[in-house]
Each structure stands twice: as structure tokens, then as C-alpha cells.
Amino acid sequence: MKDFVDGTAFNNEQGNRARKLFAAVVLAALDDAIADDKKYGNGPEQIARWARSRDGREVLSCAGIDPNERVVEGLMDFVGRGVRTSVALSREESERRNAAAAAERAEAA
């Protein structure tokens, strides 16, 4: 019984590592599309083409993301904003966005 539990825990840990690896591939694809958008102006179209491709759908699925049209639109919106993933995921950027949203709510009230 102990071997079964250890094996299940090991398999679960390996699955989590694989999902994180594929999530890193998605983040890299977003960064590449943002770079294309700044250089050529076609970043959202590039990420949409990738996300709708067979390889893109497979990578998104392996990352634990349902590859539906709503996700594609979200990826396109993210690329359109032009904020690199490392900056968007940082604490400072999150605090800045929250402060800006609070200021907008205060002005509206």
C-alpha cells in the first residue's frame, strides 16, 4: 500500500512539473508575440494563429488551459496591451494596476 501512495504522489508531482513546463512555453509564446507586435505590428494575429493551431492547442491543453475561443481572445488582448509577461506577473505591476483601479473607482464615486 505504501508503494502505491508513493507512486501516486510521484506521478502527481511529475504531472505538476509537466504543466509548469508547458505554462512556461505559453508565456514564451506570449513574449514572442509581444516582440512581434512591437516590431511588425502583428502580435495579436500571431498569438491567435498559434493558439488555434494544432500545436498551440496541444501546448495550451498540456498547460492546463482549455484552448477555446475565449482563451484565444484573452491571449490576443494580453498581447495587445504590450506588457511583457515577466512584468505583468511581478508584484510591482500588480500593485500599480490595483492602485490605478482604486483611483478610477474614487473618481467615479
Tell me, what's the pLDDT at 64? 96
Q: At what angle do helices 69-81 and 2-39 cross, to 10 degrees?
A: 50
pLDDT one-digit tens code per residue, 7-18: 776 788 998 999
Tell me, what's the pLDDT at 91? 83
Domain ranges of the chain: 2-83
Closest CA to 30 of 67, 64, 80: 80
Longest dimension (CA), the chain: 62
Q: Taking the chain (109 residues) in consecutive chunks of 10 residues, what is each chunk's mean pLDDT?
A: 66 91 96 96 97 97 97 97 87 82 86
